[in-house]
Amino acid sequence: MSDTMNRPDTFRIAIAQFNPTVGDVAGNLAKARDVRSQAAAAGADLVLFTELFLSGYPPEDLVLKRAFLRNCLAAVEQLAADTADGGPGVVIGFPRQGEKGRHNSVAVLDRGQIVATRDKIDLPNYGEFDEKRVFIAGEMPGPVNFRGVRIGIPVCEDIWGDLGVCETLAEAGAEILLVPNGSPYYRAKIDVRYQIALKQVIECGLPLVYANQVGGQDELVFDGASFAFNADKSLAFQMNQFEAELLVTTWKRSGDGWRCEERPIAHVPENEEADYRACMLGLRDYVNKNGFKSVVIGLSGGIDSALCAAIAVDALGAERVRTVMLPYRYTSESSFSDAAACAKALGCHYDIVPIGEPVDAFISALSELFEGTEPGVTEENLQARTRGTILMAISNKFGAMVVTTGNKSEMSVGYATLYGDMNGGFNPVKDLYKMQVYALSGWRNKNLPQGALGPAGEVIPANIISKAPSAELRPNQTDQDSLPPYPVLDDILECLVEQEMSVEEIVARGHDVATVHRIEHLLYLAEYKRRQSAPGVKITRKNFGRDRRYPITNRFRDR
């Protein structure tokens, strides 16, 4: 009897929310095989993996290499051969070389064969996405008959755009929509995904399963949080955020179509918890996937480095985190005690390396050249650059990646020193404004995140949070000597960066026009620094780098 005639009343779908590594085709295939074995043991009929799982997502220009595409196809064929065992079929993403170009594709595997392939149609080309550079759009798809169930497989952006992909699938007889995704995190992204998915459910009248990747890839963090809606718009299930897991769901057919039988609803973190866990996962995967055995952090006694140290210990464990205090004559006694207390609370290695002699040696070496000039920012930057050099020396000697610690407020206005405190391989707080740094620090002191390897309790001393922030590059210096109060600065920056508001609109919010003009000028002026900064976790809708691409040479000012 054909699958068309043999229409089952029960359909067990395993949602595979896992963490592939870009370029590790063999490793991703091994992971897929292991997950399929787990799904088989749980009685699944079909395993739904995420977008481009076998290549890792996003593979970017790797797909321009034919050898890479051949490896991915070979992995698909090997996984297809596995399905001859009579166990669950597979829906899995891979980059495919077609007759006219490369496609972002999914393969449906069953009974030892590649039953069907489907190509992504709506290729995103905004923010962090640039798929039109490397892929071509597929043709409008029809449903795939899988063991008597007509499944529609729109790929990620296919449900976000207005091309009518889901509507076409429904009209062609699809009974359920299975959507593989590579949707990166930003704050409150889950609510946005719900709205997009519900819109398709309402328009098509079909249940929709949204499977999303989890894990860090350079600046992007994929947060998982896979879910499904029944055709009546009820939430069928919700998986965990920031955690790799397999969920086997049972769907029952009735006169109204397919409906999920059980409703496991996982807790979804909000606000500071979600941001903190994104930073933690992003740092962990960047360090581990790039083969670093440990990290080193310049622990100044300030809040940014303290939060980075906490994130690092939570992500990697205290034994993989080395902190270094690098004092100069302007370093306060409270900074000494605060840094030591922070390292002790976190349980990580702590060293003190004074920088007085090398800084004074630089000043001495330049004394003849600088004769007749007044000491100023140049001498201050020598301190930062000496610290950066020492941290890089420790990195070279012990193989520990330097974690850089500048927040988004500082990176926005150039309040950072190239080849100094900007040195480093990765920055977990790069996309957090200063007030968000305070908020996450306060949250961490009261909460131990799920999956954290660090200790519970207060790990960032209260004095670090309460004292006025300072770079301590001259006597009695505070950040507010050079910058507006951080609540004011952050609001202006969010208006300029996230919302692209005009000066007139920002002033209408109650800000001083001269201050707004000054911050706008500093924002544009610091573009050359940001181009040379370490990558860092994307937290906001518009991070520096992938999302916001302004020219370095730029004379525009909103006057």
Q: Which residues are annotated as part of the binding site for deamido-NAD(+)?
A: 381, 410, 529
Which positions make up the binding site for L-glutamine? 126, 183, 189
Helices 513-525 and 486-497 meet at what angle, rounded to 10?
60
Residue type, 231: A
Binding-site residue positions for ATP = 298-305, 405
Helices (H), 139-265: 165-171, 189-204
| Residue tagged 């798929």 (tokens) | 131
For 13, half-sphere exposure in the C-beta direction (CA atoms, 13 angstrom radius) is 31
Q: How far apart are CA 253 and CA 539, in angstroms?
A: 40
User: Which residue among the candidates 51, 131, 273, 472 is catalytic per the annotation?
Assistant: 51
> What is the distance between the alpha carbons of residues 130 and 119, in angstroms, rounded to a whole number?
16
Q: Say how many C-beta atoms besides its own lie within 10 A of residue 317's C-beta.
A: 16
Sheet strand arrangement including 235-238: 144-146, 149-152, 176-181, 208-212, 227-229, 235-238
188 φ/ψ sector (left φ>0, alpha ψ -120 to 50, else beta)? left
DSSP state of 126: S
DSSP one-letter string for 485-542 = -HHHHHHHHHHHHTS---HHHHHTTT--HHHHHHHHHHHHHTHHHHTTSPPB---SSS
> Distance (Å, rounded) from C-alpha 294 to C-alpha 401?
6
120, 289, 408, 434: which one is catalytic? 120
- Token pair 């007030």 in the structure block, residue: 435
Q: Active site includes 156?
A: yes
- Show the 3-state SS of 78-124: HHHHHHHHCCCEEEEEEEEECCCCEEEEEEEEECCEEEEEEECCCCC
* Catalytic residue list contains 65: no
Closest CA to 288 of 16, 19, 72, 17: 19
State the sign of the Cα–Cα–Cα–Cα dihedral 516, 519, 525, 528. negative
Strand pairing report for 176-181 and 208-212: parallel
Determine how many CB atoms are found less than 10 A away from the CB of residue 525.
13
**Residue 432 · residue 405 · CB < 8 Å:** no
Alpha-carbon span 65 to 70, nearest angstrom:
9
Q: Which of 156, 204, 342, 495 is catalytic?
A: 156
The CA radius of gyration of the chain, in Å to the nearest whole number, is 26
Half-sphere exposure in the Cβ direction for 320 (13 Å, CA): 21
Q: How far apart are CA 439 and CA 468, in angstroms?
A: 15
- What residues are annotated to the active site? 51, 120, 156
